[in-house]
């Protein structure tokens, strides 16, 4: 009788692993499709701002001491959070191009999302990986 129980547990474990792998592959596929769509869309439109031009604009703004508007930082925070939900556990080097910003431009949105309890980070310096927090953790306690 014990062998049957162990066999069922191994089967359940194998099934759970299979489900996790399928979910992971699906998440990666969605992220890749989104990246390809953004890359193709940016190359086709005449109004699209190239990465170099965008960096020049942000560098110019920071040298002049101009602050980014709160709504711009808020929009960037939301885009970053959406990307993190699709691709948890990535580094900022991977996330920044998907979001459409530089790693440096994302430092304030990351700080605000961490302070709000929406994301967490693991690791240090360039090895830091970012994860979205569980939905329950975002609700204010009553």
Tell me which residue of 85, 83, 103 sits closest to 93, measured CA to CA: 103
Write the secondary structure of the chain as one string of H (helix), E (strand) and C (coil).
Answer: CHHHHHHHHHHHHHHHHHHHHHHHHHHHHHHHHHHHHHHHHHHHCCCCCCHHHHHHHHHHHHHCCCCCCHHHHHHHHHHHHHHHHHCCCEEHHHHHHHHCCCCCCCHHHHHHHHHCCCEEEECCHHHCEEEECCHHHHCCCC
* pLDDT single digits (tens) 70-103: 999 999 999 999 999 999 999 999 999 999 999 9
Which pLDDT score, from 0 to 100, does residue 52 have?
57
* pLDDT single digits (tens) 9-19: 777 888 888 88
Q: What is the CA radius of gyration of the chain?
A: 20
């Amino acid at each position: 009788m014990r062998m049957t129980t162990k066999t069922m547990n191994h089967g359940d474990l194998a099934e759970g692993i299979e489900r996790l792998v399928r979910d992971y592959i699906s998440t990666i596929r969605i992220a890749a499709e989104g990246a390809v769509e953004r890359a193709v869309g940016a190359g086709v439109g005449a109004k699209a701002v190239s990465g170099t031009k965008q960096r020049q604009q942000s560098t110019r703004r920071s040298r002049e001491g101009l602050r980014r508007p709160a709504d711009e930082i808020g929009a960037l925070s939301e885009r970053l959070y959406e990307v993190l939900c699709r691709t948890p556990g990535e580094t900022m080097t991977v996330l920044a191009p998907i979001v459409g910003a530089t790693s440096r431009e994302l430092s304030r949105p990351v700080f605000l999302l961490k302070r709000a309890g929406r994301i967490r980070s693991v690791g240090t310096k360039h090895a830091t990986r970012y994860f979205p927090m569980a939905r329950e953790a975002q609700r204010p306690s009553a």
